[in-house]
Structure 1
Amino acid sequence: MARNEGVYKRPDSGHWWINATLPNGKRIRQSSGTADRADAEAYLAKLKLDAYRETHFGIKPERTWQEAVIRYLELKRTLKSFSDVQRICRHLDRYLGDASLRQINGDLIWSVVQGELKKGNKPATVNRYLATVRSLLRMARDEWQWIDTMPKIRLLPGEVERDRWLTREEADRLIRACPPHLAALVRFALATGCRASEIKGLEWNRVDLSRGTAWLNHTKNGTPRGVPLNEDAIEVLEELLGQHPRFCFTYQGKAIAWELTNSAWHAALAAAGIQDFRFHDLRHTWASWHRQAGTSCDELKDLGGWKSRVMVDRYAKYATEHLAVAASRIQRLRDENVVNLVTFSSRPKEKRA
């Protein structure tokens, strides 16, 4: 028997449920999210009113910041940095939690900036919050069609870009100071630019030493990619053959399940005389070495698995080969027998008698 339209109770739920056909023809069967019948009926009335206004007047229903956050987090759930996204959205709730998406304007964004700066946060921290708001609003506008416009959100100036990488000599010192299992991780990171999580999760069935290739299925952006292995990377893996049936990098016969920036890491840094250096900075070192060796930004983007050039362009400053000719234009002449034609041609001609 067909259920009558309206709100109803289900034996397996404490909430009232909705069964209705909206004015736009859409059929809905969903929880009202409340155990109060009056609230459930009011919610159904709002859904019908929003659908009517959208159908007949082109007015989109009001959507809240919290509704948008729920969908946004669901889409970001597969990211390695999902916990950070959750933390940022939870933090923003104190500023935007009661607002609808249409109410988020320049003044409300400014309240986020002012509130965070007053707490002593640096521009880099505030920019993480602003970037998340901008990303969510763009998705609500361009993909979900929940809003037609959004405020222009500019990131704060003054953010200092981290520029920490090792010289070859420093890298050798660090490797010598590391215990064997950590030295293997460091050497592989410097040879491939892989992230810590990618290295820890690398399995032998995804490595082909004869072809010099590894395939990563757990990457930061969720996109599997192939990694070409140079001789340094192959040498590391050959040394680890037979130590574990599944994982390439292990410690005392077990897979590495902890963060690599631990006491062993800090002890190795101290022994090598290296300060202010994180394991992820090995990836920055690898990218910097590549650019200094002449690898193009497009090649580096593919090698490192970046989806766009934005992150790669930060390393452009390390390559100067294309400016060598320009730099030589004002250098002093080393051969005194060579006539400086520019100087010669610029001398005033002597007047004939």
Structure 2
Amino acid sequence: MATIIKNRNKWRAQIRKKGIYKSASFHTKAEATRWAYALEAQIDAGEYNTTPNILFAELIDKYLKEVTLHKRGKKEERYRLLRIIRSNLGNIPLPLLNKEHFRQWQNQRLTEVQPVSVARERATLSALMTKAQEWDFIKENPLKTLEKIKTPPARTRRYSEEEINSLIFVSGYTPTQPPTSIQNRVGAALLFAIETAMRAGEITGLKWEHINLEQRTAYLPKTKNGYARTVPLSTKAITILKHLSQLERDKENTAFQLTTRRLDAVFRKLKQKANLHQADLHFHDTRREALTRLAKHLSVMELAKVSGHRDLSILQNTYYNPDISDLVSKLQ
């Protein structure tokens, strides 16, 4: 039942019904009563629409300021959403926005970039629309029922011993002296990644205060999925860190004294020097190589603890790629 009260020289009507709260002021009690009864009838009939009359671009802007701003990957997400704001999709009024608009956007993007990139943008949009539901801006997320994007199979590329040796050789890294140059340290980072299954960003962000050489652990307070984890270190990984400890500390107190951008750029140069520039080899492939090697000694749950995977299917299908001959040797 609506509440109608007099406030100075106006009448204020308030409605709280089925989770909806609305209020408005009128010059007469009769006007307030008519408005309240009409609105309650709409709510009871399921016809009341809480969607604000704004452009989709305005919803994106609200999401950028209130949600994206607090994410670790805010820079990349902001870039994706600003691109969408500038697209035709951003000019659609929110009350009119439907699945067909997203289908048109998706089909257009598939002519411009790879399906994997479109899938990433769509995931961001879906998270935004889910948040809009929480804000009571929309009733349903139209992306939930839009046909899925066909993406290529998960990457399965592993390093060969020859590729590893070639990259380390051209980097100039040796276990007999400290890695004083940037190329040396990128070579060390490559070997360290294969020993630990750590991501490039986790390696470049690794600080000495988070390393315990005696207990052979490295603590990662910030990771890609937002959960901290502690990584066990092999004897080879410890050896690499001991070489790095002989260097003068940088102001950030990082072990490898590299940024992710610098590591990526130098790694590409090393591939050129090693004549591997056409080998379809990424630094991130070290993670798959490391986890496949570790799987010979650790159970799947232990492997997930090392890698930080919370979805075991991703660990199995994307990052574990054993040589079938190794599995055959385990059979009777």
Supply the distance in 2 between the matched residues of 1:308 and 1:145 (Cα, whole angstroms).
Answer: 30
Gaps of 5+ in 2: 1-6, 24-34, 172-182
8 Å contact from structure 1 (residues 53, 60) kept in 2: no
Q: 2:164 matched to which residue of 1? A: 171
> In the alignment, residue 273 of structure 2 is paired with which amino acid?
A
Secondary structure of residue in 2 paired with 1:215: strand
The answer to whether residue 275 in structure 2 is matched with residue 273 in structure 1 is: yes
Larger Rg: 1
- CA deviation string 1:204-235 (max 9, x = no partner): 11111111111112322333221111112111
| 2:208 paired residue number | 204
Structure 1 pair 146–295 and aligned structure 2 pair: CA distance change class (3 A): farther
Q: Distance in 1 between matches of 2:157 and 2:57?
A: 38
Paired letter, 2:156: D
SS of the aligned residue for 1:174 comes to: helix
Contact in 2 for aligned 1:165/1:288 (Cα 8 Å) = no
Within-5 A mapping of 1:75-86: 75-86=67-78
Counterpart code for 1:247: T
For 2:157 and 2:51, the matched residues in 1 are separated by: 46
C-alpha contact 1:173 1:272 (8 A) present in aligned 2: yes
Find the counterpart in structure 1 of residue 98 from structure 2. Answer: 105
CA distance in 2, matches of 1:325, 1:242: 42
The CA distance in 2 between the partners of 1:317 and 1:180, in whole Å, is 28
Query: Which amino acid in 2 is paired with 1:308?
Result: D
Aligned to 1:8: none
For structure 1, the 5+ residue unaligned runs are: 6-20, 29-48, 329-353
Q: Hey, what's the Cα distance between the residues in 1 that align with 2:240 and 2:63?
A: 40
1:283 to 253, 271, 287: 287
Q: CA offset at residue 243 of structure 1?
A: 1.8
Tell me which residue corresponds to 2:174. Answer: none
TM-score, with structure 2 as normaliser: 0.70
Separation in 1, partners of 2:78, 2:109: 18
Q: What is residue 114 of structure 2 aligned with on the other side?
A: 122
Aligned residue-pair number: 280
Question: What do the CA deviations read for 1:216-274 (whole angstroms, capped 9, x no partner)?
Answer: 12322333221111112111111112423422112xxxx64743122x42332233332
For 2:248, the equivalent position in structure 1 comes to 244
Aligned to 1:42: none
- 1:61 maps to 2:50: yes
Task: Say if 2:201 and 2:260, in contact at 8 Å, map to a contact too.
Answer: no
CA contact (8 A) 1:62 1:100 kept: no
Do the aligned partners of residues 171 and 322 (structure 1) sit closer, same or farther apart at CA in structure 2, a change above 3 Å counting?
closer
Amino acid at match of 1:284: R
Structure-1-length-normalised TM-score: 0.66
With over 3 angstroms needed to count, the CA separation of the structure-2 counterparts of 1:261 and 1:55, relative to structure 1, is farther
Query: Could you tell me which residue of structure 1 aligns to residue 312 of structure 2?
Result: 309
CA separation of 1:211 and 1:27: change in aligned 2, threshold 3 A: farther
Q: Report the CA distance between 1:276 and its aligned residue.
A: 2.4
Deviation of the 1:145 alpha carbon = 4.1
Answer yes or no: is the 8 Å Cα contact 1:214–1:226 preserved in 2.
yes
Q: Report if the CA contact (8 A) 1:78-1:222 is conserved.
A: no
What SS is found at the alignment partner of 1:227?
Answer: strand
Are 1:165 and 1:284, in contact at CA under 8 Å, matched by a contact in 2? yes
Q: What is the identity, as a one-letter code, of the residue corresponding to 2:304?
A: K
Q: Is the 8 A contact 1:140 1:147 kept in 2?
A: yes
- In structure 2, the residue corresponding to 1:318 is in which secondary structure? coil
Q: Is the 8 A contact 2:156 2:319 kept in 1?
A: no
Q: How does 1:181-196 map to 2 (within 5 A)?
A: 181-196=185-200
Q: 1:203 to 1:244 in 2, by over 3 A?
A: farther
Name the CA distance, whole Å, in 1 between partners of 2:306 and 2:41.
49
Following the alignment from structure 1 to structure 2, what is the Cα–Cα distance between the partners of residues 256 and 122? Answer: 27
Q: Distance in 2 between matches of 1:305 and 1:227?
A: 9
Asked if structure 2 preserves the Cα contact closer than 8 Å seen for 1:23 and 1:55, the reply is no
Q: Select which of 71, 81, 88 maps to 2:80.
A: 88
For the aligned residues, what is the CA RMSD? 3.6
Deviations 1:172-213 (A, max 9, x none): 221122132222211211111222222122111111111111
The verdict on how the C-alpha distance between 1:101 and 1:237 changes in structure 2, with shifts beyond 3 A counting, is same
